[in-house]
Structures are given as C-alpha cells and as structure tokens.
Amino acid sequence: MLKLVLITLGIVALSVLFLCVKMLLKPGSKFGSTHIGGSKAMRERGIHCVQSMDAFERRERKHAAERVKD
C-alpha cells in the first residue's frame, strides 16, 4: 500500500514539474490565460465568456427584463 502511494505521489510530482518547466526555466514567465476571452481565435469569432456576454446584454437592454404593468 505504501509503495502504491509513493508511486502515485511520484507521478503527480513529475506531472506538476512538467507543467511548470517553462515557468521554472524562463524568468518572468507565467501561465497563459485560460479564459475564452484570452484566446485570439475565439475573439475573432466573436465568442466571449458567458459572464462578459451577460454584462454586455444587460448594459444594452437595461430594462428588457422588466414586465410591463397594466
């Protein structure tokens, strides 16, 4: 059981190390944005994250969700 835990921890440690190679070797580097808005291809297609689209729609149609009272 202990052997399995150590092997698992070793695999996880190697995975984290491989994910961080660029950050560890190049000073001043950082992970890229993982948001949809951070992708150039998505921006070119006009695709944005849901929260940004919701905020945009609310600004344009401020009173669209209100019901008309008779």
For residue 67, the model assigns a pLDDT of 53
pLDDT in tens, the chain (70 residues): 999 999 999 999 999 888 888 777 877 777 777 777 778 888 888 887 888 778 877 887 766 555 555 5
d(C-alpha 2, C-alpha 8), whole Å: 10
Given this model, what pLDDT does residue 63 score?
A: 63
Using a CB cutoff of 8 Å and minimum separation of 24, what contacts does 50-56 make? none
Predicted pLDDT at 46: 82
3-class state of residue 34 by DSSP: coil
What are the tokens at 69? 């009272």
pTM of the predicted structure, to 2 decimals: 0.41
